[in-house]
Amino acid sequence: MQEPHYFKYLLLPFFCLLLFASCSVRKERTLFNAPSDIVTDTIKQVYVVNDQGISDAYYKIRINDQLAIRNVQNFEFGATASTNANTSTTANQNSATGSINNVLSYPVEPDGMVNLPAIGKVEVVGLSRREAALKIQELYKNKLLKDPIIELSVVNLKVTLLGEFSRQGNFLLERDNTTLIDIIGEAGGITKTADPKTLKIIRGDRANPELIYVNLNDINSLASKKLVLQNHDIIVLQPTKSAATSDKLQSLNNILQPLLVVVNLAVLIFTVTR
């Protein structure tokens, strides 16, 4: 009558597997792991690895940028076809957010100029968005439009959100001084399974990036100038350890369940045939 207990011992390796798998499951599920990620267990506010200093809060236009230009006084201006415009509009960037839709973008050419309807080439490289808008506004006022109010956006500036956000993907940086909280708001916040202490921003040179760890639980984190976002920032948020473990256990359970059925059936057959 003791033989059936032999089958119970067969289950021990499976339970051990579950135990060991749960220990490192969150790391397995996290993108772009770094040795410094261990700081998330003790971080109080903001912690920076490979600090590259505070960048200029006002983005300076560069060669190959795409500029969307609109006259606020006339929304049709800048929304119609032009042979000089890039036919890829911000409306086609389905994975990105932003208020500028159906506005054609104009490339900044290698000579630092942007070629605009009616006024031709305008040098914009090295200017902030506001400086470029005022310059273009003055040119249109002198040549074509009555009291224009020019709105200018660099539509190729974006950050990428991955992990425990309500919406993941690319988000446009349409304004200067766009902060981490601004983008999290656009993404609809964080999920119920997110661990607020594990947010990480990957910035700059991909071969040797600056890593910025943020504890969203602490309101004092919001004061850090490091949270003003830059073009091509990658923002990653991990799940809580319990959520990651629960998900892993559920996956393992789906695998083990058929095996347990087989074992139980074998026990039943053995018991009946004795």
Q: Which residue has the higher pLDDT, 77 or 161?
A: 161
Residue 172, domain member (yes or no): yes
Residue 124 has pLDDT above 60, yes or no: yes
Same domain, 189 and 258: no
User: How open is the CA angle 185-129-61, to the nearest 5 degrees?
Assistant: 105
Three-state secondary-structure class, residue 199: strand
Residue 265 has pLDDT above 70, yes or no: yes
**What is the mean predicted confidence (pLDDT) over 80-87?**
45
Please identify, among 154, 173, 192, the residue that sits at the C-terminal boundary of a domain. 154
The pLDDT of residue 270 is: 76
Same domain, 177 and 250: no
Residue 48 has pLDDT above 80, yes or no: yes
Same domain, 123 and 192: no
Burial of 88 (0-12, 13-18, 19+ CB in 10 A): middle
Structural domain tally of the chain?
3
Computed over every residue of the chain, the mean pLDDT equals 81
The pLDDT of residue 17 is: 53
CATH number of the structural domain spanning residue 74: 3.30.1950
Residue 132 has pLDDT above 60, yes or no: yes
Q: Give per-residue pLDDT as tens, 216-244.
A: 999 999 999 999 999 999 999 999 887 55
The pLDDT of residue 259 is: 73
pLDDT band at 215 (very low <50, low <70, confident <90, very high): very high
Q: Give per-residue pLDDT as tens, 182-205.
A: 999 999 999 999 999 999 999 999
Same domain, 72 and 149: yes
Same domain, 192 and 267: no
Same domain, 248 and 185: no
The pLDDT of residue 263 is: 75
- Which range marks the domain in which residue 132 is found? 66-154
Residue 33 has pLDDT above 60, yes or no: yes
How many C-alpha atoms does 221 have within 13 Å on its Cβ side? Answer: 23
The pLDDT of residue 167 is: 97
Please identify, among 128, 154, 180, the residue that sits at the C-terminal boundary of a domain. 154
Same domain, 150 and 161: no
Same domain, 110 and 167: no
Q: How far apart are CA 120 and CA 21, in angstroms?
A: 63
H helix or E strand, kind and range, residue 162: strand 158-163
Residue 57 has pLDDT above 50, yes or no: yes
Residues 137/161, Cβ–Cβ less than 8 Å? no
Same domain, 37 and 171: yes
Report CA dihedral (188, 163, 230, 65) to the nearest 10 degrees.
-90
Location of structure tokens 């032009």: 82
Pick from 243, 171, 240, 204: nearest CA to 55: 204
